Structure 1
């Protein structure tokens, strides 16, 4: 089962936090059962003066890195919703937003007060350079 529509809306919030300079970090967490893949961490990077995303796949014994455009990262990350991850957390300076699947695989999006007071430094440097 793909969660394209609900994750798409969540991903738009993520993209907004990038453009408005409030993004701190994005984490895929809480797997189903024991899996080799433990987390996916997403952070902005600069590559040839373009803002891109580094996806760090943390396995039990290794870490793998991939670089994607902001739009292509969506297609890469979508298959991991419900297989094996039950939650994705967007940390921004204005709020924390949790995309969560319950046992019946119903989606809940929970807005909480922010954990981080500062946005990602690479993102801020990029925005300051181009604005």
Structure 2
């Protein structure tokens, strides 16, 4: 199945984990080529209202400062999509119940695999606890 279609299915699991309060972190990894961009991390900021996340772009070179954006979950989906297959070939979703990995192979097909959870708890900024 083309990776774009599989990524939509993967993102459904991201949204579901967020709605159920199980979303711990999302990481774009396995860079393609030798880009300056090293990783993209998505962490929850708020589970209230429109589900805010912090999207952090981490760069290889120390001269380039990390970039951070506060986005809704839907905005994060649109923001991350262009990085698929151009900069990154895998996306890891960490939840409190399972880890879900989305991978793109050399032929452009997408695949989703599941593993035991890495995280037991979700960490939110102190202002959103309680």
TM range (shorter): 0.7 to 0.9
Task: Work out whether residues 3 and 78 of structure 1, in 8 Å CA contact, stay in contact via their aligned partners in 2.
Answer: no
CA distance in 1, matches of 2:4, 2:109: 13
* Runs of 4+ residues over 4 Å off in structure 1: none
1:51 CA displacement:
3.2
- Structure with greater helix share of residues: 1
**1:51-62 equivalent positions in 2, closer than 5 A:** 51-61=51-61, 62=65
Task: Work out whether residues 23 and 120 of structure 1, in 8 Å CA contact, stay in contact via their aligned partners in 2.
Answer: no
The size of the alignment, in residue pairs, is 124
Cα RMSD for the two superposed structures:
2.2
Distance 1:9 1:50, change over 3 A: closer
What are the Cα deviations for residues 41-65 of structure 1, in whole angstroms up to 9, with x where unaligned?
001214x975311110011232011
The structure 2 residue matched to 1:96, chosen from 87, 96, 99, is 99
1:107 CA displacement:
0.9
Which structure 1 segments of 5+ residues have no match?
none
CA distance in 1, matches of 2:23, 2:44: 9
Which structure 2 segments of 5+ residues have no match?
none
Residue in 1 aligned with 2:74?
Answer: 71
What are the Cα deviations for residues 72-91 of structure 1, in whole angstroms up to 9, with x where unaligned?
11111101110110000000
Task: Work out whether residues 3 and 111 of structure 2, in 8 Å CA contact, stay in contact via their aligned partners in 1.
Answer: no
